[in-house]
Amino acid sequence: MIPKSDRNILIGYRLNQAKETIEEVNKLIETGLLKVAVNRVYYGMFYCLTALALKYEFNSSKHAQLIGWFNKDFIKTGLIDIRYGQILRDAFKNRTEGDYSPFIEFELADVIEMRDDLKESVMELEAFIGKRIP
């Protein structure tokens, strides 16, 4: 078990990683590296989920398990709007397709929308983490 003061430092670190990832995505879009940008969109979401998991002392080394926990404990209960569950689901699906499916391409407008969804999600989850006490 991580002491609360250390947990809070890690939560801040993960949220900062998510914000830095938004900047990475911006640079990747500017240079036309859209598949890599899609990958980073998902990881920005993942960093937010990791911060949330730290806040609630949930441990998992598996992405699918972390996503399942988020959906079960926050989306289905209505604590977090269903929109953010959909954004996460789409980000995971797009990252998986971009990393593993041959010949997949993403349109610039779609990647910009994914980036904007990431920004919105980071703001929403950071606010949620800041106002909730486990």
For 107-116, write each residue's pLDDT tens digit.
999 999 999 9
| CA distances from residue 117 to 17, 26, 41, 52 in whole angstroms, order as listed | 16, 13, 9, 18
Nearest Cα to Cα of residue 55 among 41, 68, 70: 70
Domain boundaries, the chain: 4-131
For the chain (length 134 residues), average pLDDT per consecutive 10? 82 97 98 98 97 94 95 97 98 96 96 98 96 58
Supply the DSSP string of 59-128, one letter for each residue: --S-HHHHHHHHIIIIITTTSS-HHHHHHHHHHHHHHHHHHHSTT----HHHHHHHHHHHHHHHHHHHHH
Q: Is the pTM of this model over 0.85?
A: yes
- Provide the CATH topology of domain 4-131: Four Helix Bundle (Hemerythrin (Met), subunit A) (1.20.120)
Note the pLDDT tens digit of each residue in 57-68.
999 889 999 999
